[in-house]
Amino acid sequence: MDFSLTPEQEMTQRMVREFAEKEAAPTIKEYDRAQRVNWEILPRMAELGLLGICIPARYGGAGMDYICLGLACEELERVDTSLRVVMSVHVGLNSLGLLQWGTEEQKQRWLVPQAKGERYAAYALTEPGAGSDVVAIAATARREGDVYVLNGEKMWISLATVAHDFLVFAKTDPYADPPHRGITAFMVEREMAGVTTGDIHGKMGVRAGSTGWISMQDVEVPVENRIGEEGEGFKIAMSCLDNGRYTVAAGATGLIRASLEASVKYARERRTFGQEIGRHQLIQQMIARMSRDYEMARLLYLRAGYLKNIGRRNTRETSMAKWFATEASFAAASDAVQIHGAYGYSDEYDVERYLRNAKGACIYEGTSQIHELIQAGYALGYRRDKPLRREMPPYDPQEWQ
């Protein structure tokens, strides 16, 4: 058993760390306060190959492995959660979904420009009345000859107002039994008539990130834009979430590390009762928990990345990593605020932002309670993974690079 990173993985980690510290760290506080997105940083992420980091080179990507994707997400969220969100949505939820489920023609049409960063992509599953209960979505897709006519609304969609391509899930058979077999996936383009989007303001966290809504009014989507077969949308949505949750777990690990680093620095600088506060036992307990949870969260997401690399189904492992890392990151950020005292309660120090950002990850891409149920189902034997028509391709350095 080898826990060391390969030279390529170490290089990726250094590159992304330097990028985040140089390009994002100096301005993130400003953008967070203004609740504005730094759109200028996306083309620079594309130049580094981050928007296609684990997409094979023949599809315009950097051809790196899934562990490189996790390492990149950890380093990005250590500085700026909104940049990790871009990776989760553009790469994890959309592009990797195309890699797994798209036809060769669809990959050439959408995956290639997305991997190159020429077009941005989003994932549209959640609706105003459907979050954890996916089969409750109300968006519909009615086939009329060579097109599907889509109607409905999507809510809490990252990159809603900037993405060019949306992976949208809608019901083609509202009377299907079981209900999940009535859901179908489509690639919807912003340019299509009837597509409108808007931003959601007033969020607690990830204020420097784009979150919005999508409205579809009689949007005519060609049949060739359907991803997978009709009725296969639920399986596609869940397999995409395996990738998105992996990136969230890796990012939350970076937030734990950021909280730990900030707390150690402050504990060595701040003095009370004649000594550094780091000398106080209760401060040491909080820092020790952060250190422990960082190592555990990192091992969990690296295990999931390893399974992805060898082509093994990892729904259980990815769920575990996401559940643990996000809850641990919220606890770490809360302790970091406590260590900073009154200063931690203001945005003068970054830990205040860490706490606000950490809470969101305990909700999106499966709430902590949903992941508890998933893990219980596996442990009790009630839940088993069934083979998919198209499994996620394993990493092959000779073929991908």
Degrees to nearest 5, angle at CA 129 with 128 and 130: 100
Count of beta carbons in the 10 Å neighbourhood of residue 165: 24
**Spatial distance between the Cα atoms of 111 and 71, rounded to a whole number of angstroms:** 22
8 Å CB contact between 121 and 94: yes
Q: How many CA atoms lie within 13 A of 191 on its CB side?
A: 2
Is residue 240 within 8 A of residue 392, CB to CB? The reply is no
**Which of 68, 125, 58 has the alpha carbon at shortest distance from 91?**
68
For 226, list phi and psi in degrees, rounded to 5.
-75, 130
Rounded Cα distance between 136 and 174, Å, is 10
Closest to 168 in 3D by CA, of 180, 179, 181, 155: 155
Angstrom distance (rounded) from CA 328 to CA 311: 28
Query: Could you give the residue numbers annotated as active site?
Result: 365
For residues 318-345, one letter each, b for 16 or more C-beta atoms within 10 angstroms of the residue's C-beta and e for the rest, the string is: bbbbbbbbbbbbbbbbbbbbbbbeeebe
Q: Are 231 and 171 in contact (CB under 8 A)?
A: no
User: Of 75, 68, 121, 129, which Cα lies nearest the Cα of 99?
Assistant: 121
Burial of 111: CB neighbours in 10 Å, binned 0-12, 13-18, 19+: buried
